[in-house]
Copies of this chain bind each other. A is one copy, B any other.
């Protein structure tokens, strides 16, 4: 699951070039996904901050809590390691950071930080480095928009696992139907598919790393499926249910999502009609993900399929979002995001319709934008014929 040194060298070179362009002396990086992206350090996130200093002058170190130092060394992270003992500390982590920066003698007038920095951390940085200006910068989120070939390969591997998780979920229901036993509950199904995905990761990779999780999923059926982000319940699946398996998996913390709608038993006319609209919106929205178009225009075209079918009142969310080291990241496939699609972007395409009291219908693929058009990384079958479980 580890990326080669060459990847980190390339990313770091680009960051240095952007720092020069933007006349910043360096970056203070503390968002876990940004740290993983820039130096390949993956860790259990707690209140103890990791502060990565990345100077335009080539100075570079990661300040970690003591408890992670040996783990970072074992991962071969691409920065020197410095430590502070603990949080909150008699001296704050930010004061330790200032001490280390003073030792290095690097210029510190203009320091870039992410919008995701907390106001508490910013206040502590201002206290510790009173002569520096902290400037919000999008350098790392901009670079993360377009994935490198090595990253795309990890996303492809994650897509394979995620598609297999869908298959495992379906198989569990089919086995219950065949045996005449009770169908699983949403909670049981969620636990089974997440466990399946986790097992696959450990089977396939000797060095398992992640920023938030290896595999996850929401599972909901019948009326619960009308709530797009409901947590799995202990409601037992029933014949006649519409079922959404909304699954995610990450290899080397490169995520995909694969989500499918199933019908258990013979679909009703209403189920056929809703399914058809959701599938068409997803197909048209996915094909619209071409280089040069804006996120906003793709989203509008996609959701218009639902609106034109007279089901606009059942829309509850945008078409999709960027996906990378974070399961949700920029760009956003939504009316408010003017980002122009470019090769190497990976986007979820997941329009949905939600009929209160009845069910929800959502099909999601993780889609790679290429010069030759959109390419779905997730490939599990999508049609109602294929996803009727009887």
Q: Which chain A residues have a beta carbon within 8 Å of chain B's beta carbons?
A: 42-44, 46-47, 65-68, 70-71, 74, 86-92, 113-120, 122-123, 136, 185, 187-188, 191, 195, 198-199, 201-203, 205-210, 218, 226-234, 316-318, 321, 328-329, 332, 334-337, 354, 356
A202 proximity list for chain B (CB < 8 A): 185, 187-188, 234
- Nearest opposing residue in chain B for A317, CB measure: B67
A210 proximity list for chain B (CB < 8 A): 231
Residue from B119, B195, B205 within 8 A of A117 (CB atoms): B119
Residue from B42, B47, B86, B316 within 8 A of A67 (CB atoms): B316
Bound-complex Cα distance A83 to B206 (A): 45
Q: A70-B227, A119-B118, A336-B90 are in contact. Are A198 and B208 (CB under 8 A)?
A: no
Do A231 and B86 touch across chains, with their CB atoms under 8 A apart?
no
Do B218 and A231 touch across chains, with their CB atoms under 8 A apart?
no
Bound-complex Cα distance A136 to B124 (A): 13
Residue from B66, B88, B114, B188 within 8 A of A332 (CB atoms): B88
14 contacts between A and B (CB under 8 A): A43-B229, A47-B329, A67-B228, A71-B230, A74-B227, A86-B334, A87-B318, A92-B336, A115-B119, A117-B119, A123-B136, A187-B199, A202-B234, A207-B233
Q: A187-B202, A195-B191, A208-B234 are in contact. Are A71 and B119 (CB under 8 A)?
A: no
Bound-complex Cα distance A47 to B327 (A): 10
Residue from B91, B114, B231, B337 within 8 A of A208 (CB atoms): B231
Smallest Cβ distance from A104 to chain B, in angstroms? Answer: 25
Interface SS majority for chain A: loop
- Nearest opposing residue in chain B for A117, CB measure: B119
Smallest Cβ distance from A383 to chain B, in angstroms? Answer: 25
Q: Which of A43, A47, A113, A337 has the most CB of B within 10 A?
A: A47
A209 proximity list for chain B (CB < 8 A): 231
Q: Which of A70, A205, A210 has the most CB of B within 10 A?
A: A70
A205 proximity list for chain B (CB < 8 A): 234
A208 proximity list for chain B (CB < 8 A): 187, 231-234
A115 proximity list for chain B (CB < 8 A): 118-120, 123
- Nearest opposing residue in chain B for A91, CB measure: B336
Residue from B68, B195, B234 within 8 A of A206 (CB atoms): B234
Do A231 and B42 touch across chains, with their CB atoms under 8 A apart?
yes
A230 proximity list for chain B (CB < 8 A): 71
Bound-complex Cα distance A359 to B188 (A): 35
Do B227 and A44 touch across chains, with their CB atoms under 8 A apart?
no
Smallest Cβ distance from A80 to chain B, in angstroms? Answer: 19
Bound-complex Cα distance A318 to B48 (A): 11
Smallest Cβ distance from A258 to chain B, in angstroms? Answer: 17
Q: Which of A71, A92, A206 has the most CB of B within 10 A?
A: A71
Do A229 and B87 touch across chains, with their CB atoms under 8 A apart?
no
- Nearest opposing residue in chain B for A197, CB measure: B191
A71 proximity list for chain B (CB < 8 A): 227, 229-230
Residue from B185, B226, B231 within 8 A of A44 (CB atoms): B231
Bound-complex Cα distance A136 to B86 (A): 24
Bound-complex Cα distance A302 to B262 (A): 55
Do A87 and B334 touch across chains, with their CB atoms under 8 A apart?
yes
Do A44 and B229 touch across chains, with their CB atoms under 8 A apart?
yes
Bound-complex Cα distance A106 to B203 (A): 58
Q: A208-B187, A209-B231 are in contact. Are A117 and B116 (CB under 8 A)?
A: no
A317 proximity list for chain B (CB < 8 A): 65-67, 86
